[in-house]
Amino acid sequence: MTLYRERLWAPPSLYLATALVIPASLLVFLPINILTGVIVAVLMELAVLVLLWVLAPVVEVTDTEFRAGRAHLPRDLVGDVAAFGGAEATTQRGPKLDARAWTLFRGYVRDVVRVEVRDAADPTPYWLVSVRRPDKVVQALQS
């Protein structure tokens, strides 16, 4: 059973910014052929949009595991969980970040959750994951 799920979509402004692919490809291909330039511009824009959509990672908490992107952590290995927002989230991603930690960051998602890994055989002390609703993730992992 899924307790929490979110896809880390890029913000609309990033999708809008990808429109710059159109004039860039037109500058390259219009001198060769107008039709080719337009077709390539449209196809490149569509490809960039599809990549943004397909590569958006999913953060999910189920009865049995915590998933962030392609990584899976069984719930019985989840230790302490903490939510960080604002300046503290930035500090967690920067000066306080342990080099051994597993991370999933998206620059357009400011808040993070820190999930301790309770596995003596795993050198990773914790996961630090970007999420939009960190309190909900903490609540789901503690239930």
Give the torsion sign (CA, 24, 56, 134, 70). Answer: negative
Nearest to 84 by CA among 127, 44, 125, 55: 127
What does the pLDDT look like over 64-91, one tens digit per residue? Answer: 999 999 999 999 999 999 999 999 999 9
Residue 15 Ramachandran class (φ > 0 left, ψ -120 to 50 alpha, else beta): alpha
Return the H-helix or E-strand segment holding 67. Answer: strand 65-68
Nearest to 75 by CA among 119, 38, 30, 111: 119
What does the pLDDT look like over 89-142, one tens digit per residue? Answer: 999 999 999 999 999 999 999 999 999 999 999 999 999 999 999 999 999 999
Domain positions in the chain: 2-54, 59-142
According to the model, what pLDDT value does residue 135 have? 97
User: Residue 18 — pLDDT band, cuts 50, 70, 90?
Assistant: very high
Nearest to 100 by CA among 82, 81, 123: 123
User: Residue 143 — pLDDT band, cuts 50, 70, 90?
Assistant: confident
pLDDT greater than 90 at residue 21: yes
